[in-house]
C-alpha cells in the first residue's frame, strides 16, 4: 500500500498568512469564481507547495460490466466519493492511488482511490460491476467496495466511503438479477487537518422487476440514489463545482441517460466506465 | 494511461489503479503491482482475482477471476466449470435451452418464463 507520504514540513497549519495555497504535479488546473481547482487523474504524488485551507473530493473507479454492448447487461455502479470541506493541509508530498475503472468486458468492480493528506487516511471505494445478462444467466450486480465487505482495509484516522452497487442483468423473459447493495461511509478518529466530511451511503444498483422489460437494470449513484427496476443509471454526488461524480451506468434502453464524470459506472449508452480522481479547490 | 493490479502476499488482487504511461508503479518504487489489460495475462484483473506468476503460455503470469458460481471448479486452463458429475447440459447458453445453474441448490435447473406484463 503506497501510503508512505513524506511530509516536507509538519509545523503548524500552513496558509494562514498572505501566501496563497499552491499545489504541483496535477494533471489539470482551472479557475472558477474565487477558486482554483487542481485535478489528479492518475496515481503518483500530490505535492502541496504552500499549505492552507482546501476543499477536496476523492472519487473511486466506476464499476465495469460484462459487456457494455449488450443491452441485457446491468450498468456498473458509481465509484464512491469522499468530500471534505474546510480541511487544513500542510506542505508536503503525499502518495495518491487513483482507482481504475472496472473492465468493460468482464465483471470487475472499480478500483479504490486512496490518499493520506491533512492527517487523514481517505478511501473512496470502487463501484460494483453490472451483472451479466445472457441466455442462461441473469447475474446479480455486485456491491461496491467498502470497509464492511473487506475490499478496503483502512488505517486510522480515516474516512472511507463505499461504492455504489451495480445493476442486475436480464435473461430475456426468464430471470432478473438483483442489484448490488450500495455501501456506507465508515469513519474512525479525527485527522489533524479537521474539516467537515461526507458520511452518506452510496446507492444500490437496480434489480428485479419484470423480465419482459428486456434491459439490464441501471447502476446506483454514489450520491445515494438507488437504482430501480428501470434501466437508467442514477446520478452520483454533486460537488461544489456543480459536477456530478460517481454516477451509475445505464442498463440499456431508449432513454439514453448517460452521465459523465470521474467514477461513472459503465453502461449501454455511456459505454466505458471512468477512472477515479482527486480534485482539490482553494481560494485563488 | 495504464492499469495495474496490486497483489497481496497470497497473490490475491486487492486493488486496481490507473497510472500515467511514464509513472508506473515501477517508476514510483511501488512493489507488488502487475499490469492488467484485456489482451495480457489471460483475464483482466479485478479485486478478488488470483494472480498466477507462472503459467503455460503466459510467461508474465495470468489472472483468473473468482468462481462465478457456487461449487464450480477450476480446470488446468484456469477456466471455471461445473463439477465433473454435473456437466454442462446440451445447448446450455443458447436458445431454446432453459437450463441454468442454481447457486442455492448447487445443481442445474430449468427456468420457466416469467409472467408477462
Query: Same structural domain for residues B38 and B88?
Result: no
Q: Residue A105 — left, alpha, or beta (φ > 0 → left; ψ -120 to 50 → alpha)? A: alpha
- Closest residue on chain A to B39 (Cα): A105
- Closest residue on chain A to B7 (Cα): A1
Structure confidence at residue B32 (pLDDT): 97
Query: Same structural domain for residues B75 and B111?
Result: yes
**If you average pLDDT over residues B35-53, what whole number do you get?**
95
The verdict on A229 touching B (C-beta cutoff 8 Å) is no
Of B66, B81, B97, at which residue does a domain stop? B66
Distance from CA of A136 to the nearest CA of B (A): 5
CB B18 to CB A98 under 8 A?
A: yes
Of B66, B88, B106, at which residue does a domain stop? B66
Structural domains counted in chain B: 2
Query: Same structural domain for residues B24 and B47?
Result: yes
Which residues 103-132 of A have a C-beta within 8 angstroms of B?
103, 105-113, 126, 129
Query: Same structural domain for residues B62 and B91?
Result: no
**Cis peptide leading into A152, omega within 30 of 0?**
no
One digit per residue, pLDDT tens: chain A, 284 residues?
455 443 333 333 334 456 899 999 999 999 999 999 999 999 999 999 999 999 999 999 999 998 766 789 999 999 999 999 999 999 999 999 999 999 888 889 999 999 999 999 999 999 999 999 999 999 999 999 999 999 999 999 999 999 999 999 999 899 999 999 999 999 999 999 999 999 999 999 999 888 887 889 999 999 999 998 888 999 999 999 999 999 999 998 756 667 899 999 998 887 789 999 999 999 99
Q: Which residues of B touch A (CB under 8 A)?
A: 1, 3-4, 6, 14-20, 23, 25, 28, 30, 38, 43-48, 65, 68, 92-95, 97-101, 111-114, 116-117
The verdict on A41 touching B (C-beta cutoff 8 Å) is yes
CB A64 to CB B93 under 8 A?
A: no
Query: Same structural domain for residues B98 and B48?
Result: no
Structure confidence at residue B105 (pLDDT): 97
Structure confidence at residue A71 (pLDDT): 85
CB B46 to CB A134 under 8 A?
A: no
Domain around B81 = 70-117
Distance from CA of B82 to the nearest CA of A (A): 14
Query: Same structural domain for residues B28 and B74?
Result: no
Query: Same structural domain for residues B52 and B78?
Result: no
For B37, other C-beta atoms within 10 Å of its C-beta total 12
Structure confidence at residue A3 (pLDDT): 54
Cβ proximity of A250 and A267 under 8 Å: yes
Spatial neighbors of B100 by CB under 8 A, at least 6 apart, are A136, A137, A171, A174, A175, B108, B109, B110, B111
Query: Same structural domain for residues B44 and B62?
Result: yes
Strand partners, A244: A238
Closest CA to A69 of A133, A128, A126: A133
Query: Same structural domain for residues B21 and B48?
Result: yes
The verdict on A46 touching B (C-beta cutoff 8 Å) is no
- Closest residue on chain B to A4 (Cα): B30
Distance from CA of B75 to the nearest CA of A (A): 19
Give me the residue from B17, B20, B114 closest to A97, CB to CB.
Answer: B17
**Residue B50 confidence (pLDDT) above 90:** yes
Which set of grid coordinates corresponds to residue A252? 440499456
Query: Same structural domain for residues B26 and B51?
Result: yes
Structure confidence at residue A256 (pLDDT): 63
Q: What is the pTM of this model?
A: 0.94
Structure confidence at residue A5 (pLDDT): 43
Query: Same structural domain for residues B19 and B50?
Result: yes
Query: Same structural domain for residues B57 and B19?
Result: yes
Question: Measured between alpha carbons, how far is A253 from A83 in angstroms, rounded to an integer?
Answer: 32
Rg (CA), chain A: 19
Cβ proximity of A275 and B18 under 8 Å: yes
Instruction: Identify the helix (H) or strand (E) that includes residue B7.
Output: strand B2-7
Which chain B residues are Cβ-neighbours of A101 within 8 angstroms? 18
Amino acid at each position: 500500500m503506497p501510503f508512505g507520504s513524506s511530509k516536507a514540513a509538519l509545523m503548524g497549519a500552513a496558509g494562514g498568512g498572505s501566501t496563497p495555497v499552491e499545489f504541483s504535479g496535477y494533471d489539470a488546473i482551472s479557475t472558477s469564481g474565487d477558486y482554483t481547482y487542481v485535478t489528479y487523474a492518475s496515481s503518483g504524488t500530490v505535492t502541496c507547495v504552500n499549505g492552507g485551507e482546501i476543499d477536496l473530493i476523492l472519487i473511486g473507479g466506476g464499476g465495469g460490466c460484462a459487456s457494455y454492448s449488450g443491452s441485457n447487461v446491468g450498468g456498473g455502479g458509481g465509484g464512491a466519493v469522499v468530500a471534505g470541506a474546510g480541511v487544513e493541509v500542510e506542505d508536503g508530498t503525499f502518495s495518491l492511488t487513483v482507482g481504475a475503472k472496472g473492465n468493460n468486458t468482464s465483471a470487475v468492480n472499480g478500483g479504490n482511490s486512496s490518499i493520506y493528506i491533512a492527517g487523514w487516511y481517505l478511501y473512496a471505494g470502487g463501484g460494483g460491476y453490472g451483472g451479466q445478462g445472457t441466455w442462461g444467466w441473469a447475474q446479480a450486480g455486485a456491491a461496491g467496495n467498502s470497509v464492511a465487505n473487506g475490499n478496503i482495509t483502512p488505517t486510522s484516522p480515516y474516512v472511507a466511503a463505499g461504492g455504489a452497487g451495480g445493476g442486475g442483468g436480464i435473461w430475456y423473459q426468464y430471470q432478473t438479477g438483483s442489484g448490488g447493495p450500495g455501501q456506507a461511509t465508515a469513519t474512525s478518529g479525527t485527522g489533524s487537518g479537521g474539516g467537515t466530511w461526507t458520511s452518506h451511503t452510496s446507492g444500490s444498483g437496480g434489480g428485479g422487476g419484470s423480465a419482459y422489460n428486456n434491459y439490464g437494470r441501471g447502476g446506483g449513484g454514489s450520491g445515494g440514489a438507488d437504482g430501480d427496476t428501470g434501466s437508467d443509471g442514477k446520478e452520483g454526488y454533486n460537488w461544489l463545482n456543480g459536477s456530478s461524480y460517481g454516477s451509475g451506468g445505464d442498463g440499456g434502453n431508449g432513454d439514453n441517460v448517460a452521465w459523465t464524470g470521474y467514477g461513472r459506472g459503465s453502461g449501454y449508452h455511456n459505454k466505458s466506465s471512468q477512472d477515479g480522481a482527486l480534485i482539490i479547490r482553494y481560494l485563488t | 494511461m495504464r492499469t495495474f493490479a496490486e497483489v497481496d502476499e497470497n497473490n490475491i488482487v486487492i486493488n486496481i489503479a490507473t497510472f500515467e504511461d511514464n509513472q508506473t508503479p515501477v517508476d514510483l518504487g511501488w512493489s507488488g503491482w502487475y499490469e492488467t489489460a484485456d489482451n495480457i495475462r489471460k483475464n483482466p484483473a479485478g479485486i478478488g482475482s488470483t494472480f498466477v506468476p507462472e503459467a503455460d503460455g503466459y510467461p508474465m503470469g495470468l489472472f483468473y477471476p473468482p468462481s462465478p458460481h457456487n461449487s464450480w471448479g477450476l480446470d488446468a486452463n484456469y477456466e471455471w466449470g461445473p463439477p465433473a458429475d454435473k456437466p454442462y447440459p446440451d445447448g446450455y447458453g443458447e436458445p431454446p435451452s432453459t437450463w441454468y445453474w442454481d447457486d442455492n441448490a448447487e445443481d442445474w435447473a430449468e427456468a420457466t418464463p416469467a409472467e408477462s406484463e
